[in-house]
Every structure is written in C-alpha cells, then in structure tokens.
C-alpha cells in the first residue's frame, strides 16, 4: 500500500501543480517570439489550445493572439479570432482596420468598420477613425468619408489631431479641397501630416497657385516640408511654368537631402521640362545615379514634347543598350515623339518592336499614339482601319485622336462620323465639341457652329476657357482673351498694336479662320490680336530686358494665328519665345518655330 502511494504521489502532485489554460496560454504567448523560426506554428498551436478550452470570449487572450497574428502579417487568421469571439473588443477591431488599411485592403477595412458600428455594437475611437478615413481616401469614397467624419464628431473625437489630419487628407484626395481647408483652419494644432495633405490636395486638384501659397505658409509657420510636400510643390511649378520657383524648390531639395531621391529627381526633370528649360532637365538626369525606368521615360518624353525627336530616340536606344527594359509608358513617350515630328516609318517600327522584341501587347495609350501619328501624317483611312481592327475596345481618347487629325486635314465628312462615336462615349466633354466646331468654322459652316454651341448648352458640356501664363519676378501672371485686368494693361495693348503694324510690314495676314464667330473681317483681326498668348508675350516683352527668353504656358492648343504671329514677333524683337500648349512646346526664334509648322 505504501508502495502504491509512493508510486501515485507524483501524479497527484502534478495534477495539483498543472496551471489552468488561462494562466498557461499567456506564458506560452510571451515565449513565442523567442524563436522566430517556430514562432508562427507555435502561435497556431496556442490558438488551437484556446479554442479547445472554449476561451474565445477571453478578451485579453484574444487581443494578444490577434496582435501576434498581425505582427506575422497573418491578417486572415487575426480576422478569424475576431469573428469567433462572442464579445470582441474594440482593440481587436481597431488593429484589424489598421492592418487592412496599411496593406491596401481598403474595402475590407471599411466593411469591418461598418461591422464595428452596426452589427457588433462596438464603439469606434480616436484609433479607429484615422485608418477608416485613410481607406476612404484611397478609394475616393467621399460619401463614406463624410459619414465617418460625422461619427468622429458624435463619438467625441472631433478635435483629435490625428483624426483631423486624416480628415484633411481624405477630403483633399477626394477632390473636396475647400472642405479640407475648412477642417484644416479649425484645427487647434497642425502637424506635418495635415500641412502636407493640404498641399498635396491642392496640387492634385489643379489649384497650383494655392499650392505654392500654402507651401510658403507652412514654411512661415516653422514646419519643414517632407518629400510629399516637395513633390507637390514641384508639380505646381511645372503646371504653372514657374521656372524661378521651381529652381527654389530644387535648391530646397539640395539643402534637405531630398535631391538624391529618385522620385524627386524625376519630378525635377518634369518641372524643368514643363518650364521650358530642357538643358536643366537633362543636366539633372545625367547627375542622377539611381535612374529607373520611370526616370528614363520622363527624359525621353521631355525631348519628345520639345520636338527634339532624335534625342528622344537616341536616349531610348541608349536605355535599351544599357539593359533597361522599356514598359508601355516608355513606348507611349517614344511613339508620341515620333508623332510630333511626323516620323511615320520610325513610329511603325517602334510599335511593332513592343510585341516582337519586348512581348508587350499595346495598350489604349499606345494605340492612341499610333492613330495620332497616322492621322497627322494624312493617313486618315489607315488610322481608322487601325481603330476598327485593334483587339481592344477603343476609348474616347483613341477616337479623339482621329477627330483631331480630321481638324488638321480639314476632313469634315470623316469628322462628322467620328464625332458621333466620340459623343456616344463622352457626351459631356466640351473639348471634343469645340474640336468639331473648329472644323465647321474653318469651312465657314456657321449654322453648324451654332448647332454645336446649342448642343453643348443642352448637354452641359462647357468649353474650357483659354488662358496663358507667364512668370515675372517669381510671380505668375495670367491672361485670358481680351484681358485687361493686369495693372500694365494699357502698355500691353499698346505693345500689341505696335507689333501688329510691324508684322503687317513683314507681310503678315491674320488667319481669320481661327475666329469662331461669323463677324466682319476687321473685327476678326482685332479679336485675334488680343488672344491670351499674344497678351502674355507682350507682357513678357515690356517686363524683361532685351534678349531675355520669354516662357509662356497655354492651357489649350496654341491658336494657329498666334503661332504665325509669334514667329514674326521673335524676329522683330530678336527674342527666343517658348510657348508650351496642351500638346507640346514651340521654340520661336528668328522667325521660325522648332515644330517646323508640323503641329
């Protein structure tokens, strides 16, 4: 008997000293990370143990297991913990919403947020809203974002710094820049996130002047911009053609160490290119040690838009020779360069090269470039056949390229057929209506011009007002047609009248076909004289010293009469005048243009 007792005692002792699962599991969890090689399998075993003992409702254990799963990027496993728990905590919900948001699963993030506030009865807090709003911003879900905004106020988080910063970012990325500004202005404390969100929102919504003003406000408040703020500032400078301001941003990039960042490098190339300083763009490209395909493509595109197609194609060959593999964007840049110069055979060769040498099936942008190239070259039937035979469904951009070619070559019959396709795909795009109206006007078909105008009004397809920008003393001056808002307006108009007389002496006859109104010839000439491009050039002439290059940015295609006139002005004034329109650059010098009148 004593022998049996001695034999059984260790067993009884072990049963008494064995810890309860609620005590044992935390110890196992705390030891999991000591050996990363077996950590995840060990975690799964602990999770299984928790389920076997029916401890799903134990909040602390579920919280710990979920956190560990997420640390291993096992979000689905963490979600199973949440779903199996009868009483999940807000903490688990928050870390899941955060994990979904950070990994780009924004739909799952918002669906879980909805579950949190509706089905589970959990209360969102200041840790919930920033990541839910981040997902709204990523998906441009403005309606849901406004709902989350309401919830943040109702649950007492309306004044939280991080919630407000996320609100600013969400509204800005969803295009509600004015609402973002209202939230920003009401913030008691503003950090670099909130400042950057406003600047980025302004820049990507086309508020270029406001972007630069806000950037200056941020610096004056003592906040140093980060990379995103710098990229947004450069984007705005490029859109405005603000070269001097762009040079300041370049200097700032050097001072802050961002100059060697490949995204900043590419943005600088783009900014210098858009500001008409191709030499600085190439110098920055050559200095860069971390070039990628995007950087190479950007420099190729720069030469193409400036009309230097040989440099563009030479750079492409160099890129391939160094072992870089071009992508669809690269070929779009190459094909566009060929189109600007009318190099039809070369364009066809590169289009075939995409598939034969690099296995890239052309995308819609590539087809649009080929249609543009064929159309500009007068091969309208071939361009139409390419569209009808392409394996992809042509979008409005592809058909629009052919419509633009019809305008160049005055093919009204084909234009009317193509316009039907274009308006079917996008009945509200004012630009295509104007394009067809231009073709009618060139044929003096004023009844059809009026018909298009009424069609636009009926559809709500508004014409984009034309304007031109010119930088002087680090400020950008804007001009519309017949604009007299500039303080030096009288001098500007006097200069234009003086130039008009000088141009007539050289045999210039105003191209009244470009006036889209059925008015008297003399009135047409006067209307042409005060186009925004000419006003901007005249302002540049009276504001700068002789010999200074004048750089003008036009938001639409340059007027044909303005193109002819500025060629003569460059000769009369002995100036280099660089005009960037929505398609390309025109370098005017000595009475000639770099486009050689092929545009």
Q: What is the DSSP string of 266-330?
A: HHHHHHHHHTT-HHHHHHHHHH-SS--HHHHHHHHHHHHHTT-HHHHHHHHHHHHHTT----HHH
Domain assignment present for residue 92? The answer is no
- Looking at the domain assignment, is residue 345 inside a domain? no
d(CA 231, CA 249): 9
Same domain, 483 and 380: no
Statement to judge: residues 494 and 571 lie in one domain = yes
Domain hosting residue 378, numbered range = 363-463
Count CB neighbours of 181 within 10 A: 19
533 within domain boundaries: yes
- Asked if residue 37 is part of any domain, the answer here is no
- Mark whether 376 and 458 lie in a shared domain: yes
Task: Kindly state whether residues 374 and 486 are assigned to the same domain.
Answer: no
Q: Are residues 478 and 584 in the same domain?
A: yes
Residue 110 is encoded by which pair of tokens? 């918002």
Task: Please name which of 238, 293, 315 lies closest in space to residue 270, comparing C-alpha atoms.
Answer: 238
CA 44 – CA 42 distance, rounded (Å): 5
Dist. CA 119–CA 341, nearest whole Å: 62
Q: Do 451 and 569 share a domain, yes or no?
A: no
Helix runs in 520-559, H state only: 521-529, 532-543
Q: What is the per-residue pLDDT for 444?
A: 85
Distance CA 166, CA 163 (A): 5
Q: Is the dihedral of CA 181, 201, 125, 223 positive or negative?
A: negative
* 19 Ramachandran zone, left/alpha/beta (phi>0; psi -120 to 50): beta
Specify if 403 maps to a domain: yes
Q: Are residues 453 and 485 in the same domain?
A: no
How far apart are the C-alpha atoms of 97 and 112, rounded to whole Å? 7
Domain boundary among 442, 463, 484: 463
Taking the C-alpha atoms of residue 586 and residue 285, their distance in angstroms, rounded to an integer, is 22
Closest CA to 571 of 514, 466, 499: 499
Give the residue from 94, 100, 37 showing the smallest Cα distance to 73.
Answer: 100
pLDDT value at residue 10: 38
Q: Are residues 444 and 529 in the same domain?
A: no
Is 394 contained in some domain?
yes
Instruction: Measure the CA–CA gap between 228 and 202, rounded to whole angstroms.
Output: 12
CA–CA distance, 572 with 537 (Å, rounded to integer): 13
Q: Are residues 458 and 436 in the same domain?
A: yes
Say what the pLDDT of residue 286 is: 95
Q: Cα(16)–Cα(1) distance, rounded to whole angstroms?
A: 22
**Which of these three, 412, 432, 463, is where a domain ends?**
463
Which tokens is 367 given? 């087809």
Residues 589 and 472 placed together within one structural domain of the fold: yes
Strand order in the sheet with 577-580: 475-480, 467-472, 550-554, 577-580, 585-589, 592-593
CA separation for the pair 175, 500 (Å, rounded)? 43
307 within 8 A of 276, measured Cβ to Cβ:
no
The dihedrals phi and psi of 592, each to the nearest 5 degrees, come to -125, 165
The CATH number linked to 424 is 1.25.40.10
Q: How many domains does the chain have?
A: 2
Residue length of the chain: 599
Q: How far is CA 84 from CA 15, 57, 77, in A?
A: 30, 9, 11
Predicted confidence at residue 8, as pLDDT, reads: 37
Angle (deg, nearest 10), helices 227-240 and 262-274: 10
**400 is written with which tokens?**
């629009």
Same-domain status, 489 and 435? no
- Distances in Å between the Cα of 319 and the Cα atoms of 116, 292, 316, 334 are 52, 10, 5, 12
pLDDT given for residue 65 in this prediction? 75
CA angle 81, 86, 90 (to 5 degrees): 70
Q: Which of 439, 463, 487 represents a domain boundary (last residue)?
A: 463
**pLDDT, position 384:** 96
| Stated pTM of the model | 0.81
| Among candidate residues 580, 575, 586, 590, the one with its CA nearest the CA of residue 555 | 580
> What pLDDT shows up at residue 526?
58
Residue 171: per-residue pLDDT: 94
Do 420 and 514 share a domain, yes or no? Answer: no
Q: Is 354 inside a domain boundary?
A: no
Is residue 477 assigned to a domain? yes
Written as tens digits, the pLDDT of the chain (599 aa) is 334 333 333 333 333 344 555 656 565 555 565 555 567 676 677 777 666 766 565 667 777 777 777 877 888 888 888 887 777 788 888 989 999 999 999 999 999 999 888 876 688 999 999 999 999 999 999 999 999 999 999 999 988 999 999 999 999 999 899 999 999 999 888 888 889 989 988 998 889 999 999 999 998 888 888 999 999 999 999 999 999 999 999 999 999 999 889 999 999 999 999 999 999 999 999 999 889 999 999 999 999 999 999 999 999 999 999 999 999 999 999 999 999 999 999 999 999 999 999 999 999 999 999 999 999 999 999 999 999 999 999 999 999 999 999 998 999 999 999 999 999 999 988 889 988 998 998 888 989 999 998 999 888 887 788 899 999 988 999 999 999 999 999 999 999 999 999 999 998 887 766 555 544 444 455 567 789 999 999 999 999 999 999 999 999 999 888 999 999 999 999 999 999 999 999 999 999 999 988 87
Q: Scanning the structure block, which residue is given the tokens 């928790």?
A: 50
């Amino acid at each position: 008997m004593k022998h049996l007792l001695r034999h059984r005692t260790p067993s009884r002792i072990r049963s008494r000293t064995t810890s309860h699962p609620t005590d044992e599991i935390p110890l196992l969890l705390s030891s999991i990370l000591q050996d990363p090689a077996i950590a995840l399998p060990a975690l799964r075993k602990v999770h299984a143990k928790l389920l076997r003992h029916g401890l799903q409702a134990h909040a602390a254990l579920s919280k710990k297991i979920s956190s560990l799963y997420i640390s291993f990027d096992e979000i689905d496993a963490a979600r199973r913990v949440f779903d199996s728990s009868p009483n999940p905590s807000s903490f688990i919900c928050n870390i899941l919403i955060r994990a979904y948001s950070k990994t780009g699963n924004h739909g799952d993030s918002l669906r879980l947020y909805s579950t949190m506030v509706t089905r589970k009865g959990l209360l969102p807090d200041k840790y919930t809203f920033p990541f839910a709003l981040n997902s709204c911003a990523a998906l441009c879900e403005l309606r849901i974002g406004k709902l989350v905004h309401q919830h943040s106020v109702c649950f007492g988080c309306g004044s939280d710094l991080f919630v407000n910063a996320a609100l600013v970012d969400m509204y800005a990325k969803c295009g509600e820049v004015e609402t973002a500004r209202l939230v920003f202005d009401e913030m008691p404390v503003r950090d670099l996130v909130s400042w950057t969100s406003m600047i980025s929102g302004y820049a990507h919504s086309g508020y270029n002047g406001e972007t630069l003003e806000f950037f200056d406000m941020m610096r004056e408040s003592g906040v140093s911009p980060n990379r995103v703020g710098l990229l947004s500032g450069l984007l705005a400078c490029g859109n405005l053609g603000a070269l001097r301001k762009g040079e300041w941003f370049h200097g700032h990039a050097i001072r802050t160490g961002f100059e060697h960042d490949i995204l900043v490098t590419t943005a600088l190339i783009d900014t210098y290119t858009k500001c008409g300083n191709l030499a600085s763009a190439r110098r920055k490209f050559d200095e860069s040690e971390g070039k990628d395909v995007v950087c190479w493509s950007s420099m190729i595109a720069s030469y193409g838009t400036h009309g230097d197609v040989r440099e563009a194609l030479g750079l492409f060959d160099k890129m391939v020779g160094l072992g870089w593999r071009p992508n669809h964007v690269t070929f779009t840049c190459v094909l566009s360069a060929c189109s600007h110069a009318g190099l039809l055979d070369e364009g066809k060769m590169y289009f075939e090269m995409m598939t034969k040498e690099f296995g890239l099936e052309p995308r819609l942008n590539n087809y649009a470039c080929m249609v543009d190239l064929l159309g500009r070259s007068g091969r309208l039937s071939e361009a139409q056949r390419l569209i009808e035979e392409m394996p992809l469904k042509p979008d409005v951009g592809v058909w629009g390229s052919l419509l633009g070619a019809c305008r160049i070559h005055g093919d009204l019959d084909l234009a009317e057929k193509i316009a039907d396709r274009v308006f079917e795909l996008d009945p509200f795009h004012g630009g295509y209506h104007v394009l067809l109206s231009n073709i009618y006007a060139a044929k003096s078909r004023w009844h059809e011009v009026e018909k298009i105008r009424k069609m636009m009004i009926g559809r709500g397809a508004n014409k984009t007002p034309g304007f031109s920008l010119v930088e002087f003393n680090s400020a950008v001056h804007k001009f519309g047609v017949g604009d007299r808002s500039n303080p030096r307006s009288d001098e500007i108009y006097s200069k234009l009248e003086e130039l008009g007389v000088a141009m007539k002496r050289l045999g210039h006859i105003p191209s009244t076909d470009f006036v889209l109104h059925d008015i008297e010839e003399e009135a047409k000439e006067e209307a042409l004289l005060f186009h925004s491009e000419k006003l901007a050039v005249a302002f540049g002439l009276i504001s700068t010293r002789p010999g200074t290059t004048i750089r003008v940015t036009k938001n639409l295609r340059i007027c044909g009469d303005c193109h002819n006139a500025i060629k003569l002005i460059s000769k009369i004034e002995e100036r280099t005048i660089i005009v960037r329109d929505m398609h390309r650059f025109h370098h005017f010098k000595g009475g000639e243009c770099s486009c050689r009148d092929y545009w």
